[in-house]
Amino acid sequence: YASPPSKELYFPSSYKQKYGSRGFCNWLIPNHVMIGQYPGMTPEKHGPTEEEAQLHVHKMVNDARIRAFYCLQSEVPSQDDYKSWNGNVNAVHVDGNGNGKVQLPIDGGRRDFPGYFTHYAPLVELALDVDVDLDLD
């Protein structure tokens, strides 16, 4: 099996960092399987802005026609767990304000990654502009 040329793996979605830009994702199998980092905001110091994350999700849903999202990170609640994302105070890492943001635990990396993960399921729903049952884990 020959690997596809790199230009076929490229997906035009990136965000600005302190020293240039960084791509969110790329095709693993062109036009079939895409891989990449967490599609919402991330806790890194120079991670994507809210606007960059919104634009990225819009591009994935509307340009690349992505319909299934799988997150392998244990640091964030499941995308269909709206209760945790919206301020369940029993989840220590949730800021409790009901705004769809979670932080890493204080003893679990927050010093190095002080920002928030944002709930991206609402961005997918907005990009689709319809009520559909997506697989968002």
Q: pLDDT of 78-123, one tens digit each?
A: 899 888 888 654 444 444 455 788 888 888 888 899 988 999 999 9
Strand locations in the chain, DSSP E?
Answer: 14-17, 20-23, 25-29, 33-36, 101-102, 117-118
Token pair for residue 88?
């369940």
- How far apart, in whole angstroms, are the C-alpha atoms of residue 116 and residue 133? 26
Instruction: Kindly report which listed range (4-13, 21-30, 107-116) carries the lowest average pLDDT score.
Output: 107-116
**129 pLDDT band (50/70/90 cuts)?**
confident
Beta-carbon-side half-sphere exposure of residue 106 (alpha carbons within 13 Å): 2
Q: What is the pLDDT at residue 134?
A: 52
Judge whether residue 38 has pLDDT over 90: yes
Token pair for residue 120?
């991206």
Q: What is the pLDDT at residue 119?
A: 92
Mean pLDDT of 27-39: 95
Q: What is the pLDDT at residue 39?
A: 95
CA 117 distance to own-chain centroid? 8
In a 3-state reduction of DSSP, which class is residue 85? helix
Q: Is 75 within 8 Å of 113 (Cβ atoms)? A: no
- How far apart, in whole angstroms, are the C-alpha atoms of residue 100 and residue 117? 8
